[in-house]
Amino acid sequence: MDYLEESLREQAYQKVNRVGEPRSGKIDYDILGRLSGNWFYEEADPGEQSSQLAFVYYVYNASQIVVSIGGEYLHPLKVGLYFATGPDFGEVSAESGAVTYHLVGSDNNYTLIVQVVGDEKIKVEAFEGHQNGLSFTDKAKANFYTRTGSYRPTSENSPSEEYCYLTSFLLGYYYYSQQQTKTFYIAACGTAAILIVATITSFKLRRK
């Protein structure tokens, strides 16, 4: 809506039930070295949607922080959207240490402790109810999330096997699409030529 003319933009904003800026909404919350944004379970299979975890802001109120859970890796925390109270996600970094969030869901309340352990890696653990003074247990050793999940290079110079598969698939799909496009053009030109010849022939026969 930001690209509409001013008169149209104001009309559109009147239909948007949102408090805070930007009034047209926001989806790109990822900040390098900060908790804010989207994360994926480190050990999940590539493409597994249930591996998602997001620390974002409520769509209808930009000041309300929310946590979105896409899977059950953080048992007992269930899949869903939770209103959260705690430090602003954009302010939490590695220097913050372990941070506590109290979550309110449609059925139960939970406590989440999170620690940014790298520019693109966090450690997370969930507990039932609202609790204070918690610290990570041995269970949290496996609860690591990254920005890319399983799609990550094994080293700076060596791409992972998943990256290779993904790249091969995309290149293959692109080549196939190009071939399909060429075939479509050839077929279209051939059809047009046949129609032109048929029209001319029909016209000549009528004149005779």
CA dist., res. 49 & res. 68, Å (int): 12
Using CA atoms, how far apart are residues 200 and 119, in angstroms rounded to an integer? 70
- Containing 126, the helix (H) or strand (E) segment is strand 121-128
How does pLDDT run across 37-50, given as a tens digit for each residue? 999 998 887 666 67
Name residues of the chain where pLDDT drops below 50: 154-158, 162
Which structure tokens are listed for 122?
């966090």
pLDDT tens, 33-84? 999 999 999 888 766 667 889 999 988 888 999 999 988 889 899 999 999 9
pTM: 0.67
For the chain, which residues make up each domain, given as ranges? 6-152, 156-208
